[in-house]
């Protein structure tokens, strides 16, 4: 029994507690200071008709260095409330927008 308590105490201290959602979306607005608006699109199958229905959601995410621009694909993660509307932070850049 003492071995089980030791393994639980040996968990790394820098590990995040709880569950934080991660989503991938596209930056659609970057006019605010240290904030970007990210739009995520998801598709689910309608239970009655069988068609796929696309839904979109927009989230304000914290961008500390103002480095992400419109069109970039980024990954956002849930965070404690930063302001009235911001509950996410940008974790990483998935794909940079290339204008042709």
Structure confidence at residue 100 (pLDDT): 77
- Cα gap 75→91, rounded to integer Å: 6
Cβ contact 38:76 at 8 Å: yes
More confident residue, 56 or 8: 56
The string of pLDDT tens digits covering residues 18-69 is 789 999 999 999 999 999 999 999 999 999 999 999 999 999 999 999 999 9
Structural domain containing residue 78: 17-95
Beta strands in the chain (DSSP E): 22-29, 35-45, 52-62, 73-78, 88-95
pTM for this entry: 0.77
100 lies in a domain?
no
Q: Is residue 90 part of a domain?
A: yes
Tokens of 24: 């991938």
6 lies in a domain? no
In a domain, 8, yes or no: no
The pLDDT value given to residue 74? 97
How far is the C-alpha of 73 from the C-alpha of 12, rounded, in Å? 31
Q: How many domains does the chain have?
A: 1
* CATH number of the CATH domain containing 91: 2.40.50.140
């Amino acid at each position: 029994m003492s071995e089980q308590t030791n393994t639980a105490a040996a968990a790394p201290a820098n590990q995040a507690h709880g569950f934080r959602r991660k989503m991938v979306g596209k930056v659609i607005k970057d006019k605010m200071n240290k904030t970007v608006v990210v739009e995520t699109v998801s598709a689910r199958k309608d239970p009655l008709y069988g068609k796929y229905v696309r839904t979109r959601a927009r989230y304000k995410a914290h961008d500390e260095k103002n480095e992400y621009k419109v069109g970039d694909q980024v990954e956002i993660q849930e965070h404690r409330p930063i302001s009235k509307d911001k509950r996410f932070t940008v974790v990483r850049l998935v794909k940079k927008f290339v204008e042709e």
